[in-house]
Structures are given as C-alpha cells and as structure tokens.
Amino acid sequence: MPKSCMSCTFVTLVASITFASAHAAVPADYLHLDYCVIGAGPGGLQTAYFLQQSQRHYLVFERSNLSGSFFVRYPRHRKLISINKRYTGKQNKEFNLRHDWNSLISHDENLLFKHYAKDFFPHADTMVHYLNNFTNKFDLKVRYNTEITWIEAEKDPRAWNGHYFFLTDQNDSHYRCSVLLVATGMWVPNMPDFPGSEYAEGYESISVDPAHFAGQAVLILGRGNAAFETADNILGMTNFIHMLSRSRVRLAWATHYVGDVRAVNNAMLDTYQLKSLDGLLEGDLDNIAIVQDKKGKLHLRLRYHFDKSKASQDVSSNSNNQRLMYEEEADNFSVRQPYDRVIRCLGWKFDFSIFNNLTKPQRGRGRMNKYPLVKASYESESLPGMFIIGTASHSIDYRKSAGGFIHGFRYTARAVHHLLEHRYHGITWPATTLPITHLTNMIIKRINEASGLYQMFSVLADFVLLRKNATEFEYLEEYPIGALPHLPENTGKDATNGLFVINLEYGSNFSRPESDVFHPSRAVGEPGHAWLSNFLHPVIYFYKRLPTETEMMQRPKFWPLPRPDSIHHIVEDFLTNWTAAKAHILPLRRFLENCLGTDLRSFFAESCFKFALTNQYVPPFCRHGYLNMQGLLGDEILWLESVEMDHPSSDAVSTEER
C-alpha cells in the first residue's frame, strides 16, 4: 500500500456499502492491475496517457477492435461540430488549445488535430484515425476486443481504498483493480415509452441517404444536435419536417453551452420561421401516442384521447375508435396531417448494466439521471476509488461548461490524474512558488493563455495559496472548484494563510435560451462597471481562510463559489486579451494590494535606494531584489564602459580613483 494511503480517512467505507455480489463468488484467478480504465475513447486514452507518463501499472479495456469506436458510427452524417481552428495568429500552444476542440493533451506537438484535418468542422473518420495514431504513438496499453460485462467489489484491508474491484469480460477472464476509471461514454440510446413508440426509427439506425426521404412527411422526436443534424440532411427532399420536444429550442450562442444547438445544423430554423412548411412543436413525449392507419401513415395524437378511445374498444370497432379520437381533437390540431416516418433523436445515456447492484453508481438527479452521480473530484458518490472519466462525468457541469466534450474533459482527466498521484503515490499537486511581487504578472499570464480555465470555466480554476506573512505564494493550476473545501487533502498543499481563486465566468443573466445576446448594450467597456460584464471574463475571489463544505453548499444561487471576503471582476474584453495597463492590470493590482495590505509595484534601483534611506517600510519588490543585492552585477569592464560613456573625451581613470 502506498505510504500516503495508510492514514487516509477515505479508505473507510460508508457502512451502507456491502461488497461482492450475492450470486457470484469473487474469482480466484485474475490479473492484478493498479489502474483499470474501461473504454478507449478520447477520455480513456487521455487518462491512459497521463498514467503512462507517470509509469503507472494500468490497462485500458476496449470492446471494439480500435480506439474511438464511437466515432465509427457517430455522428451519423459524419460531420463533427467540434471546431478545428488551425490559425489564431499566435504561436503559444496553450493559447491555441483554447480554440482547438479536438486534440488530446500531450507533449508531442505533432499530435495536434490541426495536422490531421483542414476542415473547420472535421469528418468523423479523421477523429478515428487521430485517436488510433495517439494510441500507437505513445504505445498506450489497450486490450482490444475485450468487453467488460460485470463489475463487483470485495473488501480487503490491503487494498488502497479498503476494497478491490473485480472485472469480468465476455470471455469470463477476470481482473482485479485497485482503482477503477470508467470512461465508457454515453452510448445507450434513450428509448421513450409511449403508445406507438415502436413505430419510431432510431437515430442510430436511420438511413443517411436523403433520397430515401424524397416526398415524405417526417416527424423528428428530439431537439438536440442529432435531431437538427438529421433534419439538415433531409431538408431539401421532404414534403415537410416537424420536430417535437418537451422544451423550447436552446441555441448555443444564447446559452453559451456547446452541447446546445449549433449554427452549423440549424437550417430548419430558417424554414420554420420563414414559413416554408417545416415547424417546431413543444410537448412532453409522455403525453403523446402514435397511431398507424390502414395505409401505413403515422398519426400523432394526444395520449389522453388515445387512452379514452382505447377504453371504448369493447363497444366500438377499431375504425370507429380512430374516428372518435380524431373528432375529439380540435379540427385545427397542429399535427393533424399524417407522417410517413417518425425518427427518434433523443440522445444517449450511461450504461449502468455492467455494475452489480452494490457497485452501481448512483444516478444523477432530475434531467441528469442519464449520468452517474459523481463528486466534484469526479469520484463516484457511492464507492471510493471509482472515478468517472470523459463524457459520462458531465453531471458536474451539464448545460454549463464543456466537461462532456473533448475540449473539456481532457482537462478534467488531468485534474483526476493529479488527485490520484497525490492520494496513492504521495506526489503533491504541481505548483509554482514565487515571490509575492510576481502575483499580478502570474495572474495576467494565466487569464490570457490558460486553455483549461477558458474551456472549463466555473468548473476548473487556478488557486493562489499564500505563504506566511504573504511574502510568497504557491500557484496551483486547474483545480476543481467544487472540491475547494477539500483542497489540502486532495493536493497536499497548505491553505491556512488565505487564498485567491482565479475563475472565468459569463454574466449571471447572459446565458439563457430566451436571452437576446445581440442587444446593442451587450458589452461593458468601463472598468468601473466590470461586475456587469456579460461575456466570459476573469473573476478573482479572495478568502482569508478556506471555505467549509457547509459554506460551499450554502453559496448564493448560481454562484460557483461561496461568498468571498473580497471579489474583483476584470472587465470583459472584445479580444479576450486582458493586457490593457489601465483597464485590466492596474485595477487588478490594486485589488491584490488591498487584500494583501502591501505594495506590489515594481521599482528601479534608484527608487529602492531612496525607499531604504527615507522609509521604515520597503516595498516587497525592493526587499526581495535590491536589498538582497539581486540584479545586474558589475565588473571592471562594465565600470570602465560606463565611465567612458559619461566622459568620452577623457583618459581612462586609474584604479586608485575608483
């Protein structure tokens, strides 16, 4: 057992958890691994990369014969909606990742996605090629054609978490794991259950040839990108398309959530609003029924009328029932015309079936029940040592940030890796220690370059941990905001002397489906009104002490963090370039100075000399530099050159005169 684990409280399991299935004994023959990763999609491969770089004992299990098998089939119409911005005008790799939504993190710049595709919205086959090249380039340990079909756990005091995970594959081979990293993604189609749902064709199997829809009337169930992608493909061939969903359309440019409807697929909004026969409808799928007539046409009906007509079957013929159902509905019922086809585009859910009842993750709450419930550290709520990686971990930031997509979970996978390194191997979270005089520059550098903060805004943040007397600080990058109260135990760092949190946020009222994000006064330019900024902008929180778990839970509604002792908004910038001396840097420096009670300005040596002669207090910059004799060290040659510059016509001065 790693030394760092011996005294950790997390190895004690909650009393309500029992281990090993009731119907199967834990196998005696197995392959033992420290880390088991299920799934060789982008989330699993990103995790494997970090484990490989740390030389950990791991194995990735993949049910298909290649990496990234999800992209062999999806999206069905083969165009990714993750942008591939190859040019930004900058050479900074970290900055460029802000606009590269497809690359995995690695030390090899040849494995940036821009080298694989030129299209702004790449073809899905390119992603398959890229992920397999990534696997082969780093010789990641992936066992293909191995489908994990059963997961259970057994108590063992020797285990890192107080229990081992036991995995069984389709060939009845067994594996024992100290830590389980589930990166299976979201691939089980959501199947509605209403009368006539069997007539709906699934997105996963529908034809992608537009000619197959020529002259047809089509009803699409769902209103996400899969639904609009399908509509966009057949728009020019159908008589009309209707789209039904329980909620209004959510446009990504209004919600600022990349999982909502993207402009690349929303041509049907034009044909609807410009009255070209197509249309969008709102309605709960639990309240509908689909009825097939004798000609094979499909009719959408309200379930209330369907149930009522069904109840009268004992006194009427089927044809009379159908006529009764039509007559009871309004004669201008919106969907009174029949359809030739109904297509189900309702997304996917997590596969809970591979877990036994005692190790199965809890489901997310409400509309997030398609996801497993995880802590802010991405560890399962129900079982220590099991982490959810990649798309399936999106319950933490669903409809908020990019955690369900490559350009988001590549950073959360790295955060989980740092946590694992500390918890099981005693390696503290990476940090940079600098004099306090570097604080302003460090923050400015990060808010202008960091891709993790930019993509996972309000989920991952940078943390500044102050040393005693605030003479130095430690800078931690991209730590999960939700795990703030547990920062010391997750990182091995001391937060008793106060801390700053550097976050990126949108305005509180700017990211809603009904928002007018193009109104004339949508942006703020005055630094004094920075707190009214709408677009993504830096927000710095200052805490004199580490907030507690209770304070985290009771934080103000829609706030990512508890109420701080002080807070500072840096005004939004059209170029997302927060380097303006007066608008961005000066207000930030003064905020930091007020929080620290010190002077963070930089001074020339002459000014430091005057401070030392005339003041009891010397600014930190002078104290750490000038008074420590740091700076340019002189020698005889430099001295002679300076004298000659002052007296170019005089002879060289003798050594004695010096």
Q: What is the mean pLDDT of residues 95-123?
A: 97
What's the rounded Cα separation, in Å, for the pair 115 and 123? 14
pLDDT tens digits for range 353-367: 999 988 899 998 888
Is pLDDT of 309 > 80?
A: no
pTM: predicted TM-score of the whole model, two decimal places = 0.87
Mean pLDDT over residues 2-17, rounded? 38
The pLDDT tens digits for 561-591 are 999 999 999 999 999 999 999 999 999 999 9
Q: Which of 11-20, 121-130, 242-251, 430-439 has the lowest mean pLDDT?
A: 11-20
The pLDDT value given to residue 495: 94
pLDDT value of position 444 = 97
- In 381-526 the beta strands, taken as DSSP E runs, fall at 386-388, 431-435, 460-466, 472-480, 499-505
In degrees and rounded to multiples of 5, residue 652 shows phi and psi of: -60, 140
**pLDDT given at position 377:** 96
What is the structure's pLDDT at 637? 67
Write down the pLDDT at residue 521: 85
Q: 113 pLDDT exceeds 60? A: yes
For position 111, what pLDDT does the model report?
A: 97
DSSP annotation of 585: I
**pLDDT for 19:** 47
**145-183 residue pLDDT tens:** 999 999 999 999 999 999 999 999 999 999 999 999 999
More confident residue, 1 or 527: 527
The pair phi, psi for residue 438, each rounded to 5°, is -90, 0
What mean pLDDT is predicted for residues 244-253?
91
Binned at pLDDT 50, 70 and 90, residue 324 comes out as very low
What is the DSSP track for 114-171?
A: GGT--SSS-BHHHHHHHHHHHHHHTT--EE-S--EEEEEEEE-TTSTTSEEEEEEETT
Q: Given pLDDT bands bounded at 50, 70 and 90, which one contains residue 247? A: confident
Cβ atoms of 506 and 457 closer than 8 Å: yes
Q: Is the pLDDT of residue 639 over 80?
A: no
pLDDT bin (cut points 50, 70, 90) of residue 396 is very high
What type of residue is 65?
Answer: N
User: Alpha-carbon distance 535 to 506, whole Å?
Assistant: 5
Mean pLDDT across the chain: 88
What residues form DSSP beta bridges with 505? 537
φ/ψ of residue 472, rounded to 5: -140, 170
Q: How far apart are CA 429 and CA 6, in angstroms?
A: 19
pLDDT exceeds 80 at position 26: no
pLDDT at residue 404, rounded to an integer: 94
Is residue 40 over pLDDT 70? yes
**pLDDT value at residue 638:** 55
**The dihedral formed by the CA atoms of 89, 93, 95 and 101, expressed in degrees to the nearest 10:** 100
Q: Examine the pLDDT at 342 and tell me if it is beyond 80.
A: yes
Does the structure show a pLDDT above 60 at 317? no
Tell me: pLDDT of 644 over 90. Answer: no
Residue 5 has pLDDT above 50, yes or no: no
Range 235-243 average pLDDT: 96
Give the pLDDT confidence score for residue 493 in this predicted structure.
Answer: 96
Residue holding tokens 């800078």? 475
Residue 404 to residue 399: CA distance in whole angstroms: 9
- Percent of the chain clearing pLDDT 90 (strictly above): 73
Confidence of residue 39 (pLDDT cuts 50, 70, 90): very high
* Residue 606's pLDDT band (cuts 50, 70, 90): confident
Structure tokens of 420? 């694992």
Give the model's pLDDT for residue 627.
67
pLDDT band at 144 (very low <50, low <70, confident <90, very high): very high
Nearest to 328 by CA among 336, 337, 340: 336
For the stretch 466-506, pLDDT in tens is 998 888 999 999 999 999 999 999 999 999 999 999 999 99
Per-residue DSSP letters for 389-421? -GGGGGGGTTTTSSTTSHHHHHHHHHHHHHHHH
**Confidence tier at 402 by pLDDT (50, 70, 90):** very high
Averaged over 104-120, what is the pLDDT?
97
| 133-139: long-range contacts, CB 8 A cutoff, minimum separation 24 | 134/45, 134/49, 134/67, 134/104, 134/106, 135/40, 135/45, 135/67, 137/108, 137/111, 138/49, 138/52, 138/106, 138/108, 139/52
User: What's the mean pLDDT in 67-82?
Assistant: 96
pLDDT band at residue 18 under the 50/70/90 scheme: very low
Q: What is the pLDDT of residues 129-141, one digit of tens each?
A: 999 999 999 999 9
Is residue 595 classed as helix, strand or coil in its secondary structure? Answer: helix
Section 593-602 average pLDDT: 92
pLDDT at 640: 65
Confidence class for position 608, pLDDT limits 50, 70, 90: confident
- Say if residue 603's pLDDT is above 80: yes
